[in-house]
Amino acid sequence: MIFNEPFENSVYIVLDIETTGLNPVENDIIEIFAFLVEKERITKEFHRLVNPGFFIPRRITEITGITNPMLIGQPNIRDVIQEFDDFIKDYIIIGHNINFDLSFLNRAYNIYLNKKLNSPSVCTLELSKRLLPHLRSHKLSYIADYFNITYNRLHRAKDDTFITYEIFKKLMHIARMQYKKELTYLHLKSIIKQRV
């Protein structure tokens, strides 16, 4: 992992998960999607539906489109988390509201792998707040609409991951124009930490 290498030349992960609720202690992961970007090309994908061990509520199906029959026979998080860890290695992770995703993943890491997910991360939600402070909302759908990024649905991990990637590329372009330099992980983190 090279923190001072421009993103155009680097390798990183774009990630999204779907869950049965908002609390990582009480709720569970039901879908993980991630892909590997190498020098601005998607080279590998990771996608798993995850059986939480119980029937998911109807409201979660209404939000995500994931149904109970879709989860029957799927592996549980214990069987998925090591495979996921092998996929992401120690690459930088990009995600929208990434701390939400990491809170659920870290619970699984703690329980089943006896460790923490230590990959560095960049949050497109926080980056958009810094680069687009005039927007009234920084939800994924609102930013996608702002950039005229087309999408068929939201709240499925695969779709949201591709939307996040397109948003990330747009935000990177804005940041390059604004800061007049190639952007590294360290540059992006410093932009996010700037006071408004």
Q: Which two tokens stand for residue 162?
A: 């591709």
Q: Nearest Cα to 12, choosing from 151, 116, 156, 165?
A: 165
The verdict on whether 155 is a catalytic residue reads: yes
Sheet holding 121-123, edge to edge: 41-49, 29-38, 11-19, 92-95, 121-123
Complete DSSP assignment for 113-164? ISS-----EEEHHHHHHHH-TT-S---HHHHHHHTT---S-SSSHHHHHHHH
Identify the active-site residue in 134, 138, 155, 173.
155
How many other C-beta atoms are found inside a 10 Å radius of the C-beta of residue 173? 13
Q: Is 13 exposed, middle or buried (0-12, 13-18, 19+ CB in 10 A)?
A: buried
Catalytic residues: 155
